[in-house]
Amino acid sequence: MCIAIDLDGTLADIRTVFLEELERQEDIVHSFEDLENYYFDEAPFSVKKFHRLARENWKNREIPLTDKEIPTHLEELSQSHRVDIVTVRDDVDRKILRIGYSEKM
């Protein structure tokens, strides 16, 4: 069986990094509740700003895991399944390998 797992928000904690960067650049503190949905007409920032910050963060920062046990769970899954990490982002394979995923994933 093949299992596909999304990178953004499932494995990688992009919300925390995004909020930290938004606070650093605008000196405005936003909460996770501000990001509960991605309807940008309701968000306190524009879709353009979100995509720009997200792109910059992937290029310039190491994104933390959503849970420290993810590498262990992925390794266990890979023993009996093929595990694919799914993302639309460019150049993330070196960052994924740094997390410690098995070569066979």
Tally of CA atoms within 13 A in the half-sphere of 52 that contains its CB = 7
* Domain assignment of residue 66, yes or no: yes
* Domain assignment of residue 43, yes or no: yes
pLDDT digits (tens, 9 = 90+) for 64-103: 888 999 999 999 999 999 988 887 766 666 555 444 444 4
**Are the C-beta atoms of residues 100 and 52 closer than 8 Å to each other?**
no
Per-residue tokens: 105? 């994933």
Helices 14-26 & 47-60 angle (0-180, nearest 10): 110
| Domain span including residue 57 | 2-99
Number of domains in the chain: 1
* Domain assignment of residue 105, yes or no: no
Per-residue pLDDT band at 63 (split at 50, 70, 90): confident
| H or E, element range at 97 | helix 93-99
Tally of CA atoms within 13 A in the half-sphere of 22 that contains its CB = 24
* Domain assignment of residue 12, yes or no: yes
* Domain assignment of residue 104, yes or no: no
pTM exceeding 0.75: no
